[in-house]
Amino acid sequence: MAVPERRDRRATVWDAPTRLVHWLIALLIPFSWWSAHNDHLPWHRLSGYCILGLLVFRLIWGFIGASTSRFGEFVSGPARVRAYLAGRLSAGVGHNPLGGWSVVAMLTALAAQVGLGLFSIDEDSLEPGPLAALVSFDTARAIAHIHHLMFWVVIALVVLHLGAIAFYAARGRHLTRAMIVGRAALPPGAQAPRLVPVWRAVLAAAAAAALVWFVAHGLRL
């Protein structure tokens, strides 16, 4: 039986590493908040190391991963963002021009947050970040204070992200399922994303883990 031509073409829109990074970060942000709020700083530190590793992995993946994961594919100039906002772009696959910038903002804010955490110290000097030894007590306390304030920036971006998902859902575009299972219907005329072999993800994960290990040991080998 011939496949009817009008049937939806389906393809993997988000590759497995990108989805895994996304959902692990989604779990680790509330866990980081909870562990800090309830004074479980060893857990908080571990959670930060995991997020750091995921961010480093995602950064590498942004250059060698599947096409929809690459910065070069989803980071657009202002003209494209304006065209998207004006509805002048046909539906594509992956992040839209505005969503791409929201990804960049989220990754940047998380990187800043983790970076501040590395240099932070608690008021009792019991639980320093791995790089707090590089700065004075006063500086590490000031950084801890900014780390607390920076959490609100992360929250704002999470709220914006959830708001955008709700906005598209209200217009009949349900985005969450594809981020879970990876596959989604392709818009007419859109090309399926190019996927990459899994060994690249293994290499990127090993590089990320090595960097986290180095940072966690206070930049000492």
Residues forming the site for other proteins (CB under 8 A): 121, 123-126, 128, 132-133, 136-138, 140-141, 145, 148-149, 151-152, 218, 220
- CA-CA distances (angstroms) from residue 80 to 3, 40, 62, 76? 36, 45, 20, 6
Question: Closer to other proteins at the Cβ: 3 or 149?
Answer: 149
- Cβ atoms of 70 and 100 closer than 8 Å: no
Residue the block writes with tokens 């992360």: 154
Nearer to other proteins, 7 or 220 (CB): 220
* Furthest C-alpha separation in the chain: 74
The least CB distance from residue 138 to other proteins, in Å, is 6
**Closer Cβ to other proteins, 67 or 139, answer by number:** 139
Least distance between other proteins and beta carbon 19 (Å):
33
- Give least dist CB 176 to other proteins, A: 31
Cβ-defined contacts of 84-91 (< 8 Å, 24+) = 90/187, 90/189, 91/187, 91/190
Q: How far is the CB of 153 from other proteins (least distance, A)?
A: 12
User: Which DSSP state fits 15?
Assistant: -
Q: What minimum distance in Å lies between the beta carbon of 42 and other proteins? A: 13
Beta-strand ranges (E) seen in the chain are 10-12, 183-185
Q: Based on CB atoms, which residue is closest to other proteins, 148 or 173?
A: 148
Q: How many CB atoms neighbour CB 2 within 10 A?
A: 4
Least separation in angstroms between residue 143's CB and other proteins is 13
Please give the Cα distance from 162 to 151 (Å, whole number).
16
Judged by beta carbon, residue 158 or residue 175, the one nearer other proteins is 158
Give 171: exposed, middle or buried? Use CB within 10 Å, 0-12, 13-18, 19+.
exposed
Residue whose CB is less far from other proteins, 107 or 114: 114
